[in-house]
Amino acid sequence: MSCLFLPFFVTMVHNITIRGAMMESVLISVSGRVQGVGFRWTTARLANRMGITGWIKNEADGSVTVRAEAEKADLTAFIKALRHSPTPYASIRDVQITSKSVEDFKKFVITD
């Protein structure tokens, strides 16, 4: 009797998406006019709408650092949006991206 259910079981297991299996994580440094213009707030709002987890914070040198985790396609779209700035008041000069190990953040937050 188990032989009758084996093909169905194998098909079902093959289609299961395991959380974290395709996740990617990056550290993004954004420079330009990105502090005092709502960049962190609008980036956090964008990240939450796109299902991105991680954090964003201001740096002493005037740049902003973003740690972001998501599936590759979502992360690529998020980075593209950052390059064009989620707020019209910012001016992006440079975006540097470094791959990191996935930490499985639960949400996206603004930090100090």
Q: pLDDT tens for residues 46-95? A: 999 999 999 999 999 999 999 999 999 999 999 999 999 999 999 999 99
Instruction: Assess if residue 29 is contained within a domain.
Output: yes
Strand order in the sheet with 23-33: 91-100, 23-33, 64-71, 53-58, 108-110
Instruction: Assess if residue 12 is contained within a domain.
Output: no
Is residue 20 pLDDT above 90, yes or no?
A: no
Instruction: Assess if residue 2 is contained within a domain.
Output: no
Active site residue 15: no
Contact 19, 29 (CB under 8 A): no
pTM of the model: 0.80
Helices assigned H by DSSP within 1-112 = 2-14, 39-50, 72-83
Instruction: Assess if residue 44 is contained within a domain.
Output: yes
Domain that holds residue 55: 20-110
**Among 15, 19, 33, 40, the one annotated catalytic:** 40
Contact 58, 66 (CB under 8 A): no
**Among 15, 58, 67, 83, the one annotated catalytic:** 58
Active site residue 40: yes
CATH code of the domain containing 86: 3.30.70.100
Q: Which residues contact 102 (CB under 8 A, 6 or more apart)?
A: 20, 23, 24, 25, 69
Number of domains in the chain: 1
Instruction: Assess if residue 13 is contained within a domain.
Output: no
